[in-house]
């Protein structure tokens, strides 16, 4: 709850596998409301409205995932009860269980929630909410590559992978952000909710932050292309990875597998979670995305290059699966290539 100066207390939970950019980036953003906009516009810092601190199971220094030293100000026994507790992303194998590895963190988060505090997570930090038993039967979001980390390990969780933010629970006191820099959206949302919209917009202006209003779909790979342990399916995966643009690829995949059609269809879905046709589309769309990012080829030419004779069908499929039209995707994700192109 607010400190003696009336500042909103924000705990940022650090585990040894934490991503330092999110940990310290959150600290910076939560330190900014009321203070920094006045400084950059008037030369005089204003009154700080939030008071972030780092909390961990121990105050002993440790190294974050990329080797950056982390020193917690409090441990779970001596930390003040915060208004908000945030869990930044940390390194965990996609789909893997972390059961029993974060019991102190999970117990403390559950206590904060019981005592009326808000819980907020970014990317894989949502896993700690699952360990605290707070995701059962609830909507959630996480980085697009980590959906299975939730669905494999927490009963009844309903993952909304395209949403940048998901709010759930009583009084919407649990807030989750998707992957990557969506922790910035999370911080801005929490500032707006607890301090004010004006202050959140000021922080966005100081740090040049942009809301991820397009969700996660445009950033995601259309499918996880991990190789199957099923040798027959693996043969078809290897073939389609090099030949997805050819006509009638599914029939050729069946032939490569050496299986009867019905057996192939069943085993392919069991191995990949997709139909063979959807798997082909995923390969084609991933290649199309890379061509849109790296070339100036017309959309119609890209459609043909990846295996679609009907450019209109390609455009509709791309929009449905990616969340943007091909032209919109090129405008957003081709900017780096354009910036690297010498100007006359």
95 phi and psi angles, rounded to 5 deg: 90, -15
Is residue 194 a contact partner of residue 175, using CB atoms and an 8 Å limit?
no
pLDDT for position 225: 63
Q: Report whether pLDDT(1) > 80.
A: no
Determine the Cα–Cα distance for residues 6 and 2; give it in Å rounded to an integer. 5
| pLDDT interval class at 219 (50, 70, 90) | low
Q: Report whether pLDDT(337) > 80.
A: no
Would you call 89 helix, strand, or coil by DSSP? coil
| pLDDT interval class at 128 (50, 70, 90) | very high
Least confident of 84-93, 148-157, 204-213: 204-213
pLDDT for position 336: 66
- Give the chain's domains with CATH numbers: 8-216 (3.40.50.880), 231-339 (1.10.10.60)
Query: If residue 182 lies in a helix (H) or strand (E), which one and from where to where?
Result: helix 182-194
pLDDT for position 343: 57
Determine the Cα–Cα distance for residues 105 and 129; give it in Å rounded to an integer. 9
pLDDT for position 213: 67
Is residue 278 a contact partner of residue 317, using CB atoms and an 8 Å limit?
no
**What pLDDT, in 10s, does the model give residues 272-283?**
888 999 999 999
pLDDT for position 214: 67
Q: Report whether pLDDT(10) > 70.
A: yes
Counting residues of the chain whose pLDDT is more than 90, the rounded percentage is: 66
**What pLDDT, in 10s, does the model give residues 246-256?**
999 999 999 98
Burial of 7 (0-12, 13-18, 19+ CB in 10 A): buried
Put the strands of the sheet holding 74-75 in their side by side order.
74-75, 50-56, 8-13, 84-87, 118-122, 174-177, 165-168
CA atoms within 13 A on the CB side of 316: 3
Please give the average per-residue pLDDT across 315-319, as a whole number.
94
Q: Report whether pLDDT(220) > 80.
A: no
pLDDT for position 163: 81
Is residue 178 a contact partner of residue 229, using CB atoms and an 8 Å limit?
no
The top-scoring range by mean pLDDT among 40-44, 55-59, 180-184 is: 55-59
Residue 295 CA: distances (Å) to CA of 179, 306, 315, 323 = 27, 14, 17, 20
Q: How would you label 184-208 residue by residue, b for 16+ Cβ within 10 Å and e otherwise?
A: bbbbbbbbbbbbeeebbebbbebbe
Determine the Cα–Cα distance for residues 278 and 123; give it in Å rounded to an integer. 26
Neighbours of 42 (CB within 10 A): 9
DSSP for residue 62: E
């Amino acid at each position: 709850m607010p400190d003696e100066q009336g500042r909103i207390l924000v705990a940022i939970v650090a585990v040894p596998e934490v991503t330092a950019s999110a940990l310290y980036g959150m600290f910076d953003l939560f330190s900014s409301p009321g203070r920094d906009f006045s400084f950059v516009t008037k030369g005089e810092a204003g009154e700080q409205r939030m008071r972030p601190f780092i909390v961990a199971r121990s105050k002993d220094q440790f190294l974050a995932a990329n080797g950056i030293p982390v020193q917690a100000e409090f441990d779970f026994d001596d930390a003040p009860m915060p208004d908000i507790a945030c869990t930044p992303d940390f390194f965990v194998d996609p789909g893997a269980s972390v059961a029993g590895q974060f019991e102190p963190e999970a117990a403390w988060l559950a206590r904060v929630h019981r005592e009326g505090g808000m819980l907020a997570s970014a990317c894989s930090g949502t896993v700690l909410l699952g360990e605290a038993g707070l995701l059962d039967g609830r909507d959630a979001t996480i980085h697009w590559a980590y959906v299975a980390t939730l669905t494999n390990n927490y009963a009844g969780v309903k993952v909304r992978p395209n949403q940048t933010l998901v709010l759930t629970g009583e009084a919407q006191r649990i807030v989750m952000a998707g992957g990557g820099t969506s922790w910035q959206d999370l911080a801005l949302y929490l500032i707006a909710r607890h301090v004010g919209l004006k202050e959140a917009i000021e922080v966005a202006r100081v740090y040049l932050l942009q809301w991820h209003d397009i969700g996660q779909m445009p950033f995601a790979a259309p499918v996880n292309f991990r190789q199957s342990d099923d040798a027959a399916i693996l043969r078809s995966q290897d073939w389609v990875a090099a030949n997805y643009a050819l006509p009638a690829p599914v029939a050729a995949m069946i032939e490569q597998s050496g299986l009867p059609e019905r057996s192939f269809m069943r085993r392919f879905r069991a191995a990949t979670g997709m139909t063979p046709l959807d798997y082909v589309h995923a390969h084609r769309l991933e290649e199309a995305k890379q061509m849109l990012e790296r070339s100036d080829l017309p959309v119609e030419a890209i459609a043909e290059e990846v295996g679609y004779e009907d450019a209109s069908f390609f455009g509709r499929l791309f929009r449905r699966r990616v969340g943007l039209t091909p032209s919109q995707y090129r405008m957003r994700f081709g900017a780096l290539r354009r910036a690297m192109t010498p100007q006359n």
